[in-house]
């Protein structure tokens, strides 16, 4: 029985030309978009959605662009506001990474509402239709996060714990801590100074990373919860199955799918945040548990509950369902 997994996945697939590299994270976004497009196209062909293939082709790309723009704006506002204020042009530096799904929902939602209102189309009906397959895009996005070795969780001794080499030294644990020694012993983690998950604090390392440890201290990069995979399962598989069940049962009330997504995503994300580590430059907002992800998920849950209640009480039919 394995006691831990060492993450050794490269985030690069291959170099296209010079510095231009195809990365797994970008590919996962494209795969997610492709799966969404395929399902919607299939449902149109079978008459389950009253849209044309031409409309889908034009609209799907537009919505994807709005979501990506919103995700970038959200990340800079919610997670890197100081960097945005210092240099507003960093908003366009998407190659440096940094996307917020909450931002994608908020600003992508707003941009889509403006666009479809301008086109004199019913935004709420379209939102219901397009949201059903969105969890699958989230699934592939979280797989991309895992391959990148980012958004990892708290340390764990569970057998599927993963040692991520991307964890900064400031998050490594001192071997002098009895609790760390107990964890190392429990998972039978070899400690002889030659492993990549072991480092000895030098004066240079101490000063560069501003570590609170003495020179000579041994630091260990312990296994962590693969919170990206938890989110892939919850936000992706579970949430899709919930929406798809409504779809298969023929629920046609306007808004039910959209607001169910809001509630479902918000609740799943809020729960995973208990073990997912917060961004280093932000940390916990309150105590040693309340994170930015939780703060942004709460409004989604509340808005979703209110919206769901209104939709069910009004019982207006979405004209796009076949």
Annotated binding site: 142
3-state secondary structure of 16: strand
C-alpha 294/C-alpha 274 separation (Å) is: 9
What gap in Å lies between CA 159 and CA 199, rounded to an integer?
Answer: 23
CB 261 within 8 A of CB 297: no
Strands (DSSP E) along the chain, which ranges?
A: 5-6, 12-17, 20-23, 162-163, 173-174, 198-200, 218-220
Residue 95 CA: distances (Å) to CA of 34, 68, 99, 194, 311: 21, 12, 11, 34, 40
Q: What do you get for the CA distance between the two ends of the chain, in Å?
A: 50
CB 71 within 8 A of CB 99: yes
What does the block give as tokens for 195? 């492993």
Tokens of 310: 């209104």
* 282 and 158 Cβ atoms separated by less than 8 Å: no
Between the CA of residue 67 and those of 37, 58, 252, what are the distances in Å?
15, 15, 25
CA angle 306, 309, 310 (to 5 degrees): 85
On the 0-12 / 13-18 / 19+ scale of CB atoms within 10 A, 174 is: middle
Answer yes or no: are the C-beta atoms of 308 and 259 closer than 8 Å.
yes
């Amino acid at each position: 029985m394995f006691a831990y997994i060492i993450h050794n996945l490269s985030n690069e697939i291959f170099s296209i030309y010079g510095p231009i590299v195809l990365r797994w994270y970008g590919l996962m976004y494209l795969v997610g978009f492709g799966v969404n497009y395929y399902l919607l196209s299939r449902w149109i062909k079978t008459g389950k959605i009253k849209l044309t293939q031409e409309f889908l082709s034009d609209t799907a790309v537009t919505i994807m662009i709005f979501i990506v723009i919103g995700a970038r704006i959200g990340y800079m506002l919610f997670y890197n506001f100081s960097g945005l204020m210092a240099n507003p042009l960093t908003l366009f530096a998407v190659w440096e990474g940094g996307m917020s799904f909450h931002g994608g929902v908020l600003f992508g939602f707003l941009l889509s509402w403006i666009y479809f209102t301008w086109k004199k189309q019913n935004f709420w009906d379209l939102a219901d239709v397009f949201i059903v397959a969105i969890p699958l895009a989230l699934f592939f996005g979280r797989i991309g996060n895992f391959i990148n070795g980012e958004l990892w969780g708290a340390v764990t001794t569970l057998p599927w714990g993963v040692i991520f080499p991307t964890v900064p030294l400031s998050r490594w644990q001192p071997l002098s801590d009895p609790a760390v020694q107990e964890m190392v012993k429990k998972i039978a983690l070899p400690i002889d100074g030659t492993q990549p998950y072991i480092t000895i604090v030098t004066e240079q390392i101490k000063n560069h990373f501003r570590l609170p440890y003495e020179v000579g201290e041994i630091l260990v990069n312990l296994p962590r919860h693969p919170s990206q995979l938890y989110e892939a399962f919850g936000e992706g598989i579970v949430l899709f199955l919930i929406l798809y069940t409504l779809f298969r049962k023929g629920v046609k009330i306007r808004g039910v799918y959209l607001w169910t997504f809001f509630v479902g995503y918000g609740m799943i994300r809020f729960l995973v945040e208990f073990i997912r580590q917060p961004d280093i430059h932000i940390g916990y907002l309150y105590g040693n548990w309340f994170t930015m992800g939780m703060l942004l998920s709460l409004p989604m849950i509340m808005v979703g509950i209110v919206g769901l209640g209104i939709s069910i009480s009004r019982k207006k039919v979405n004209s796009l369902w076949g």
